[in-house]
């Protein structure tokens, strides 16, 4: 006696795929007016001041911490200052609900929130941070740490004004 085992987790047939695609397309068309009406109010108009005052205080306090680390002048403190500045910029981008899984993804998605100069500055600073974290032979010099912090400051200033 043989039994046929029904596969419950089989791949969908071509017909099922077509019907699913048609259903998704119809849903997209039907929901389009609602998305245009309700997304238009918040899209691109949210400034950092609208996030919350506690976050602005956090940014101010964190930046003072970063400047203190940089003022100490030790290589380990310079590296920590760069890492903290990168985390601070990431915190701000997350507060602005910038999409992306990583800081790099969020920077790419936020190019319209910066002037071209500040966007380039943010990328240069983030690349220094990546070298610091991912390259064990990278030696962070004082001038490059100060340059990275200055670049982070440009980017953060644009987002918080």
The 10s digit of each residue's pLDDT in 49-58 is: 444 556 788 8
pLDDT in tens, 116-160: 999 999 999 999 999 999 999 999 999 999 999 999 999 999 888
Q: Taking residues 87-93, report their average pLDDT.
A: 92
Q: In Å, how far from its chain's centre is CA 157?
A: 16
- What is the reported pLDDT for 45? 44
| Domains of the chain, CATH where assigned | 53-160 (1.20.120)
Band the pLDDT of 10: cuts 50, 70, 90: low
Q: Taking residues 64-88, report their average pLDDT.
A: 94
- 150 SS3 class: helix
- Least confident stretch, 6-10, 78-82, 125-129, 154-158: 6-10
pLDDT in tens, 22-56: 988 888 888 877 777 765 444 444 444 444 556 78
Q: Please say if the pLDDT value at position 99 is more than 60.
A: yes
- What is the reported pLDDT for 43? 46
> How far apart, in whole angstroms, are the C-alpha atoms of residue 79 and residue 69?
9
pTM, two decimal places: 0.68
- What is the reported pLDDT for 44? 46
Q: What is the DSSP string of 35-104?
A: HHHHHHTTTTT--GGGT-HHHHHHHHHHHHHHHHHHHH--HHHHHHHHHHHHHHHHHHHHHTT---SSHH
44: alpha, beta or left, given left = phi > 0 and alpha = psi -120 to 50?
left
Q: Taking residues 10-29, report their average pLDDT.
A: 85
- What is the reported pLDDT for 62? 93
């Amino acid at each position: 006696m043989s039994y046929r085992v029904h596969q419950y987790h089989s791949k969908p047939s071509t017909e099922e795929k077509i019907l699913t695609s048609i259903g998704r397309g119809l849903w997209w068309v039907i929901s389009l007016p609602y998305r245009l009406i309700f997304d238009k109010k918040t899209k691109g108009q949210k400034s950092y001041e609208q996030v919350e005052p506690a976050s602005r205080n956090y940014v101010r306090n964190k930046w003072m911490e970063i400047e203190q680390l940089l003022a100490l002048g030790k290589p380990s403190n310079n590296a920590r200052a760069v890492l903290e500045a990168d985390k601070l910029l990431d915190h701000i981008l997350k507060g602005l609900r910038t999409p992306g899984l990583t800081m790099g993804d969020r920077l790419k998605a936020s190019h319209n929130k910066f002037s071209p100069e500040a966007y380039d500055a943010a990328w240069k600073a983030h690349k220094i941070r990546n070298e610091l974290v991912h390259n064990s032979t990278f030696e962070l010099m004082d001038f490059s740490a100060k340059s990275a912090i200055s670049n982070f400051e440009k980017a953060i200033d644009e987002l918080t004004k």
